[in-house]
Amino acid sequence: MSAALVVENLGVRYGGVTALRDVSLSVDEGQILTVLGANGAGKTSMLRGISGLVSSTGTVTHHGRTLGRLDAAARARAGLGHVLEGRHVFPDLTVRENLHLGSLLSPKPAEGVERALALLPELEEMAGRKAGRLSGGQQQMLAIARAISGSPSVLLLDEPTNGLAPMLVQRTIDVIGAIQELGVAVLLVEQRVEVAQALGSEVLVLQRGEVVGTAHGTDDDLEDRIHTAYLA
Ligand code: ATP
């Protein structure tokens, strides 16, 4: 398997605040890498640095191509999907219109919408409803579906289970597994250890902007190790 995303020595600063320092990682096609870390560990900054929403130092390589000079829109068009934290959908547009907009990033937009609806068929029955009328959980699903409609080869997911009821957490886990099966490289940021465990993914632990450990979702002592890192 080849690396879809390679990040080397990524750094993000906001004025005098260093949010991320020297983070390196790699995600293969069809692989999930979960980055676990407490509030403020730098997870969101890491994803924003990769997708070009904030400026960063270091190198981001997508299927062998260095993205350094590309802005966020160009990175998205190149196949880097990013689901931001907090259900960003267009509230006044319908579900279908949201998917259609997302699909414009895809070389074949109609196929993009079909792919998203195949992944999340529950959205079909609400296709004509305004996104702002959906529940928080449904909006989160739509945000993921919209990213998938753009046919990304790499998907960055920022705490997709945050604030969801347990049933929807499980649904989100299943959907992420299905996205992996499509061959997409998934870089998932989470606070919930159980998501990495359920996915059986590779794990990086981020603390105060730095990678402090690697693990695997199937490790017996994962929870202890993560909690030690969170509390340190
Ligand atoms: P959370 O789980 O709360 O989203 P996080 O792990 O995603 O946290 P970041 O949001 O990346 O962490 O924040 C990392 C650090 O950078 C924190 O110390 C935060 O206060 C700081 N930070 C984030 N955004 C900004 C900003 N726009 N300006 C200044 N400092 C910021």
**Is 207's C-beta closer than 6 angstroms to any atom of ligand 1?**
no
**Is 40's C-beta closer than 6 angstroms to any atom of ligand 1?**
yes
Read off the tokens for 9: 């020595």
Same domain assignment for residues 116 and 156: no
Tell me, in angstroms, the distance from the centre of ligand 1 to residue 118's CA.
Answer: 35
Residue bearing the bigger pLDDT, 86 or 185: 185
Q: What is the tally of structural domains in the chain?
A: 2
pLDDT above 70: residue 232: no
- Closest protein CA for atom 28 of ligand 1: 14
pLDDT above 70: residue 137: yes
| Domain-embedded: residue 169 | no
Same domain assignment for residues 156 and 66: yes
Rounded CA-CA distance 90/24 in Å is: 33
Tell me, in angstroms, the distance from the centre of ligand 1 to residue 55's CA.
Answer: 14
Rounded CA-CA distance 209/173 in Å is: 26
Rounded CA-CA distance 195/197 in Å is: 5
**Is 43's C-beta closer than 6 angstroms to any atom of ligand 1?**
yes
Same domain assignment for residues 13 and 59: yes
Same domain assignment for residues 88 and 65: no
Same domain assignment for residues 144 and 156: no
Structural domain including 41 reads 1-79+152-160+174-232
Q: Any idea which residue has 């676990």 for tokens?
A: 36
pLDDT at position 231 is: 64
pLDDT at position 107 is: 86
Tell me, in angstroms, the distance from the centre of ligand 1 to residue 114's CA.
Answer: 35
| Domain-embedded: residue 17 | yes
- CATH number (domain holding residue 210): 3.40.50.300
pTM: 0.95
Is-contact 204 50, C-beta < 8 A?
A: no
Same domain assignment for residues 123 and 206: no
- pLDDT tens string 142-190: 999 999 999 999 999 999 999 999 999 999 999 999 999 999 999 999 9
Rounded CA-CA distance 232/228 in Å is: 6
Tell me, in angstroms, the distance from the centre of ligand 1 to residue 183's CA.
Answer: 30
**Is 172's C-beta closer than 6 angstroms to any atom of ligand 1?**
no
